[in-house]
Structure 1
Amino acid sequence: MEDFLAARLQMAFSLGFHIVFSCIGMVMPFFMCTAHYFWLKRKDPVYLDVTKAWSKGVAIFFATGAVSGTVLSFELGLLWPRFMEHAGPIFGMPFSLEGTAFFIEAIALGFYLYGWNKFHPWFHWFTGVIVGVSGLLSGILVVAANAWMNSPAGFDFIDGQYLNIDPVKAMFNDAWFSQALHMCIAAFVSTGFAVAGVHALMILKGKNVLFHRKAFQIAAIFATIAACLQPISGDISAKDVAGRQPAKLAAMEAHFHTEKGAPLIIGGIPDVENKTVKYAIKIPKALSFMATGDFNGEVKGLDSIPVEDHPPVAITHYAFQLMVGLGMLMLGLALIYFYALVKKKHWLDSKWLLRLFVIATPMGYIALEAGWTVTEVGRQPWIIHGVMRTADAVTPMPGIAYSFYLFTAVYISLAVIVSVLLYRQITMVGKLYDSSSQTNNS
């Protein structure tokens, strides 16, 4: 394996793992605080059990997210030194602020985990809110740095030199809002459906039904609301990409020819050599409307972009189709769930609805990984769009393939360990809850 490919794969693998841990760390504190709020208002001990169970999960993912995030920060310097040499002074501000948010999150989490019966109940709850807000802010700041790579700003590039640097303008670049919005909602969708699916499975198994039903209701509400908002943020992102990165949009849609009234392509197999898409469903003029707001608007195809600047079409297209397809399935489930809440409350106890949530458990994270594939692969061959190519930024150090194998083994081990810890946590909570129920009954 050549070093350039190994460096890209190592970064992709590391990011693919970290994004799951970070999204859970961003969202789970809000679930935890919601259950805690219901405990404070209603004094229902089940909500207290849910809160304490979820707080342990938050601690586990905080630790794993911190480790995987630290590895990523080192990889940026080790694998892409020329990129960091030039880009570091420009977009270093969001990384510095993210570090501050991380420290606030760590302190607040410590207060929350060890503050039971030591603080005023509402102050204790508020420390949990701080955990969630600071975690969400950390995610937004990191995405702002990634958005800068897609929409570089805050400097003048003159004769190969980066001059007149403005870190604030770099952080609030043209892409930061649409990417941060889409990412934050995606975190709630993916984590919400994953958590709701796990608790739905436990309900179907008849284990600690009251406990898992309370937890399921909280996670399902967050997930379904976010699933309904995601298409809106997707539309904002699509229009943003169409204006700034027409090559990425063309690869996403396998749109080879510039045209007005461009159709939206659903599915299909791109044939790059012949510049066609086989077996696709085409919706007339829909792509033009989504990209420009005009059914007859012009959408640039790959034919208007130099061949050396084309992203990998097949990977980008398949990842985009997967993301959108799973997003639509989760939106459909969300609409069914809201209909049940309003019109068919007896559906909420039905096994078929719970099974749908179980099936949806991995969908959000698969869509999340597909979305990041679109973002990163669709930007190629640029590491800084229009300024620096990825091939020019890689380290000259040999032996990167061995580093890739080592880090892959580390991340797989980390994933196994976290899975075992979470499984033990879920089963332990169940046993403790069963024991307390039996004690209360006797």
Structure 2
Amino acid sequence: MGLTDTLLLFAAEGEPPGLLPARQQMAFSLGWHIVLACFGVAFPTIIFVVHRRGIVRDDPVALGLAQRWAKVSAVLFAIGAVSGTVLSFEMGLLWPGLMGRFGDVLGLPFAFEGLSFFVEAIFLGLYLYGWGRMPPRRHLLMLVPMAVSGVVGTFCVVSVNAWMNNPAGFAIRDGEVVDVNPWRAMFNDAVWLQFAHMWVGAFIVVGMTVAGVYAFGMLRGRTDAHHRLGFTVPFAFASVAAVAQPFIGHVLGMRIHDSQPAKLAAFELAQTTESPAPLRLGGVLIDGKVEWALTIPRLGSIIARNSWDAPVPGLNEIPRNQWPPVNITHLAFQAMVGIGTLLVVVAAVYWVARWRGRDLLGNRWFLWLAVAVGPLAVVALESGWVATEVGRQPWTVYGVLRTVDAASESSGLWWSYIAVLVIYLGMTVGAVVVLRSMARRWRAGETDLPSPYGPPRTESVP
């Protein structure tokens, strides 16, 4: 039995042979790329703040941070460009039933996303090579279109996902997609809340991750102004975002009751409709029974419906063949909420202590916690996407196109999956090697690493 035949044993009866590898490949590549996308959204804004501080206050530490972070963002942008290109091909290769049928509906946001990518690349190059070649304030302004294009590109991609959750902008007549309105599809009813959730989440991930890097440096004894500022600025962004995120998530969650009741039932692990509904912490559904859950009365209605006694729909109201994978959806959702709550607590502890005159950057326990919240923020981000995507199943386009009908029929997708694993592993190793090399050279005193392919630097323009 060959490798392909062996892997096909994992496919459920009646499913196309390409469904499982398509799901695995898309989950892996999207889960990998989304972290890099966060840096494209949030990092230019954070760099803008430290760069502006450096100009306004004549602060060489802030300017040094801006220059270093710009070079880090260039490395991340380069590998993000590769992974984003792979995703573009995957949409047609893995899901021909989606793109072949709805390509006219989804073409507009994908086109705008491509234009945003080119704009970001152009101004990233101008910013990188502008050090010492442009007037300082004009150079600073190169970050603005970088930040805007990153946000616009992310909005376009999120709009496609929001459309898959809330399809709009077309009609189906005699099995054909007609009356296409790509603007209505792009600006569907769910897009603004989903985008806000993703946009704020990007600042949490980037802010906590970058702050964690400098917290680790302080644990190694590097307590200079460079490390303190490198921690404080991104942590401030992440703190504001962490506090705002639960409110956005709450509004978004309330909308799910009307748009995707099966997803809400899975989030809440609700077998039957209850009024008032309890909140179940943890737990899994085994043979139709909820096991190992901590149940808190009424809190489910308050959180999910913003009411003391509003019912939360149960899985019993939904046909069994339209249930999402309940346990994965529930646990991913709770991981996102639980970690998000922890991040709010960590941010509150730091800023309250600072307000009261305590310097937690000298406390090793807090610094280790700050190191940990970076990876935890990434886990929360990934968990949120798992909850969103798995919770929509068995639909690719909710209520319109089932996932089994969107997937490729080719069993050879396992080979493309293996190729993607190898490519992404190589990019990961390459990025780590390059970033660690840059960090070592900076610690050794090389303050101005050359940009690749850049012309020789001249004196600063007044």
**Deviation larger for 424-433 or 11-20:** 424-433
Amino acid at match of 1:196: A
Matched residues in 2 for 1:164 and 1:285: separation? 45
* Aligned partner of residue 361 in structure 1, secondary structure: helix
Aligned equivalent of 2:297, options 249, 272, 284: 284
**Alignment-derived partner of residue 49 in structure 2:** 34
Matched residues in 2 for 1:199 and 1:47: separation? 14
Matched residues in 2 for 1:162 and 1:285: separation? 44
Q: Quick check: 1:83 aligned with 2:102?
A: no
Matched residues in 2 for 1:353 and 1:277: separation? 37
Amino acid at match of 2:139: H
Matched residues in 1 for 2:140 and 2:182: separation? 35
Matched residues in 2 for 1:172 and 1:434: separation? 45
Question: What is the Cα deviation at residue 268 of structure 1?
Answer: 1.4
Question: What is the Cα deviation at residue 297 of structure 1?
Answer: 1.0
Q: Quick check: 1:97 aligned with 2:116?
A: no
The answer (yes or no) to whether the contact 1:208–1:434 under 8 Å persists in 2 is no
Residue pairs, 1:168-317, within 5 angstroms: 168-207=183-222, 209-271=224-286, 273-274=287-288, 276-317=289-330
* Aligned partner of residue 392 in structure 2, secondary structure: coil
Question: What is the Cα deviation at residue 257 of structure 1?
Answer: 0.6
The structure richer in helix per residue is 1
**Alignment-derived partner of residue 3 in structure 2:** none
**Alignment-derived partner of residue 106 in structure 1:** 121
Aligned equivalent of 2:439, options 423, 426, 432: 426
* Unpaired runs of at least 5, structure 1: 436-442
Matched residues in 2 for 1:428 and 1:144: separation? 41
Q: Quick check: 1:415 aligned with 2:437?
A: no
Question: What is the Cα deviation at residue 208 of structure 1?
Answer: 6.3
Amino acid at match of 1:340: A
The answer (yes or no) to whether the contact 1:255–1:302 under 8 Å persists in 2 is yes
Per-residue CA distance 1:304-328 (angstroms, 9 max, x = gap): 0111110001111111111111111
* Aligned partner of residue 29 in structure 1, secondary structure: helix
**Alignment-derived partner of residue 150 in structure 1:** 165
Q: Quick check: 1:324 aligned with 2:337?
A: yes
Per-residue CA distance 1:397-420 (angstroms, 9 max, x = gap): 231111111111211221121122
Matched residues in 1 for 2:331 and 2:150: separation? 31
**Alignment-derived partner of residue 383 in structure 2:** 370
Aligned equivalent of 1:115, options 130, 133, 148: 130
Question: What is the Cα deviation at residue 434 of structure 1?
Answer: 8.6
Per-residue CA distance 1:177-207 (angstroms, 9 max, x = gap): 1110111111111111111011100011013
Per-residue CA distance 1:376-408 (angstroms, 9 max, x = gap): 111111010000011111112231111111111
Amino acid at match of 1:385: Y
Between the aligned residues of both structures, percent identity stands at 43
The answer (yes or no) to whether the contact 2:19–2:409 under 8 Å persists in 1 is no
Matched residues in 2 for 1:418 and 1:288: separation? 45
Q: TM-score, normalised by structure 2?
A: 0.91
The answer (yes or no) to whether the contact 1:150–1:385 under 8 Å persists in 2 is yes
Residue pairs, 1:41-52, within 5 angstroms: 41-52=56-67
The answer (yes or no) to whether the contact 2:159–2:191 under 8 Å persists in 1 is yes
The answer (yes or no) to whether the contact 1:208–1:430 under 8 Å persists in 2 is no
Question: What is the Cα deviation at residue 133 of structure 1?
Answer: 1.8
The answer (yes or no) to whether the contact 2:50–2:233 under 8 Å persists in 1 is yes
Matched residues in 2 for 1:173 and 1:326: separation? 29
Per-residue CA distance 1:267-314 (angstroms, 9 max, x = gap): 11222x22x322212222222222322221122111101111100011
Q: Quick check: 1:380 aligned with 2:393?
A: yes
Matched residues in 1 for 2:316 and 2:357: separation? 52
Matched residues in 2 for 1:346 and 1:396: separation? 59
Matched residues in 1 for 2:362 and 2:144: separation? 31
Matched residues in 1 for 2:109 and 2:321: separation? 31
Matched residues in 1 for 2:167 and 2:178: separation? 13
* Aligned partner of residue 206 in structure 1, secondary structure: coil
Per-residue CA distance 1:221-265 (angstroms, 9 max, x = gap): 111111111111110111122220111111122111112211111
* Unpaired runs of at least 5, structure 2: 1-6, 9-17, 449-462
Amino acid at match of 1:330: L
The answer (yes or no) to whether the contact 1:22–1:61 under 8 Å persists in 2 is no
